[in-house]
Homo-oligomer: A and B are copies of this chain.
Amino acid sequence: MDPIVGRMTLKEWVAVESDSVQPVLRLRRELLRMMGLAADRLRNLGARVDLVDAGFQQLPDGQSLPIPPIILAELGNDPKKPTVCFYGHLDVQPARQEDGWVTDPHTLTEVDGKLYGRGTTDNKGPVLAWINAVSTFRALDEDLPVNVKFVIEGMEEAGSLALEELVQKEKAGFFSSVDYIVISDNLWISRRTPALTCGTRGNSYFMVEVKCRDQDFHSGTFGGILNEPMADLVALLGSLVDSSGRILIPGIYDHVAPVTEEEKRTYEAIDLDLEEYRNSSQVKKFLFDTKEELLMHLWRYPSLSIHGIEGAFHEPGAKTVIPGRVIGKFSIRLVPHMNISVVEKQVKQHLDYIFSKRNSSNQMTVSMTLGLHPWVANIRDNQYLAAKRAIKTVFGTEPDMIRDGSTIPIAKIFQGTIRKSVMMLPLGAVDDGEHSQKEKINRWNYIEGSKLFAAFFLEMAKLH
């Protein structure tokens, strides 16, 4: 492996503003370009590459935007070797300099061994680490110990549109020869100890619109005689969660799996330095004081976050406006055995009730725009064993067996559709700040991660 070449490509990839969240044609073009760059890189490795057309995304306003094609690629088809399929995504969260970035979000910038930039850790860096591992064997003129496949999409941050459909369609085709799926789209729980991930939370994303009229009002000319949409909306959003983090929607905890004694012991084993975690997070105080409580509330209990409001005044300065139509956005992270459609119903009933109590003359509309299942892995599987050995080889330590509070819906999709073992093998450190204004991957994690994937190939071949 040539880390310099690897970093050069990461720099090139980070420079592409492949934001899938904002439904804007310009950004979709960047996504298309991104997928093209990745396809070229894989072809240079000698892989057979398909750019599968993924159709169009229908927007709420009736318009449609192209979905970037999904890459299906393969390298080797020796029936004596196991076939490992790597999933990754090359789309990113929105990032603008004015959001508070210190470095330009689309210029890979190294500071003290940290490679800053949008997408460095989520998920362009890990995708390239896997490619680096494969190319190492080619550079050394050695046979790949495993057959390798790639599924690389460009809509993960927008809910992996079109991916599930493709997986269904290729179940008996591209995926029929796949033995194992590896995903590397999350983080360790510490800065130094590698981890293996065996579960993720799901997510249900809600939009609640309150409308008086389409145009805004002047707060002098109309203030005092209106049911103002913002007043309704803050009341609705304020009814969702209390200041201890408990979700106030009736029935929401009914289907959450009870905590067993065995499960409790797994949290005790995790090597988490609370003080370091708090410091690296730059948070004065968490809602919970013990490691066990903290991990359970991140991994196995649902949480509700309010993300923002569309349609209200959001710029610096003082505008005296009564917004005419506003959309509040919040999401609930789901855990076993919560049911998405039950959650949707509970949320709608709750908001209907709160809104009806206000006796407002405005119109309220609630929609769930995303519903993603939680996922739990079988950690007694061969590839978990191979990954543990590879971690021991490269890092000289046992991994933390962790869950992830965030949602990687593809894990559940693969497990449910092609019914093969799914493993999540993160490369990034806990302080990588995915989705934040200081996203980075450490140079060390990027290089050791590339080595880890190569070692994993060797261990997989041995176990097969």
Contact B224 A245 (CB under 8 A): yes
Most B C-beta atoms less than 10 A away, residue of A187, A218, A219, A358: A219
Q: How many copies does the complex hold?
A: 2
Contact B438 A306 (CB under 8 A): no
Out of B159, B297, B323, B438, name the residue touching A215 (CB < 8 Å).
Answer: B438
Report how many residues on chain A are interfacial, defined by Cβ distance under 8 Å: 97
Interface-located stretch among A69-77, A127-135, A226-234, A443-451: A226-234
B residues less than 8 Å from A308 (CB atoms): 230, 309, 312-314, 319, 321, 323
Interface-located stretch among A5-13, A146-154, A163-171, A277-285: A277-285
Out of B218, B284, B317, name the residue touching A361 (CB < 8 Å).
Answer: B284
- Considering only residues 190-239 of chain A, those with a C-beta below 8 Å from chain B are 200-201, 203, 205, 207, 212-228, 230-232, 234-235, 237-238
Contact B434 A221 (CB under 8 A): yes
Interface string of A295-325 (1 = CB under 8 A from B): 0011001111111111011111111111110
Contact A203 B226 (CB under 8 A): no
Out of B212, B216, B234, B243, name the residue touching A435 (CB < 8 Å).
Answer: B216
Q: Is A287 an interface residue (CB 8 A)?
A: yes
Out of B100, B319, B405, name the residue touching A224 (CB < 8 Å).
Answer: B405
Q: Give the docked Cα–Cα distance between A40 and B275 (Å).
A: 66
Q: Is A360 an interface residue (CB 8 A)?
A: yes
Most B C-beta atoms less than 10 A away, residue of A228, A285, A297, A358: A228
B residues less than 8 Å from A237 (CB atoms): 230, 234, 238
Contact A232 B243 (CB under 8 A): yes
* Shortest CB distance A105–B (Å): 12
Contact A358 B225 (CB under 8 A): no
Q: Is A241 an interface residue (CB 8 A)?
A: yes
B residues less than 8 Å from A436 (CB atoms): 215-218, 324
Given A305-B230, A320-B205: A283 touches B212 (CB 8 Å cut-off): yes
Q: Is A269 an interface residue (CB 8 A)?
A: no
Q: Is A437 an interface residue (CB 8 A)?
A: yes
Out of B200, B312, B315, name the residue touching A94 (CB < 8 Å).
Answer: B315
Contact B234 A306 (CB under 8 A): yes
Q: Give the docked Cα–Cα distance between A231 and B286 (Å).
A: 14
- Considering only residues 78-123 of chain A, those with a C-beta below 8 Å from chain B are 93-94, 99-100
Out of B310, B317, B323, name the residue touching A315 (CB < 8 Å).
Answer: B310
Which residues of A are in contact with B by a Cβ distance under 8 Å?
Answer: 21-23, 93-94, 99-100, 158-159, 187, 200-201, 203, 205, 207, 212-228, 230-232, 234-235, 237-238, 240-241, 243, 245, 281-288, 294, 297-298, 301-310, 312-324, 329, 331, 333, 358-362, 369-370, 404-407, 433-438
Q: A213-B283, A223-B405 are in contact. List 7 more A-B contacts (CB 8 A).
A: A23-B317, A203-B220, A215-B433, A221-B298, A238-B238, A284-B362, A309-B309
The 5 A-B pairs at the shortest CB distance, nearest first, are namely A220-B406, A224-B303, A308-B313, A308-B312, A285-B361
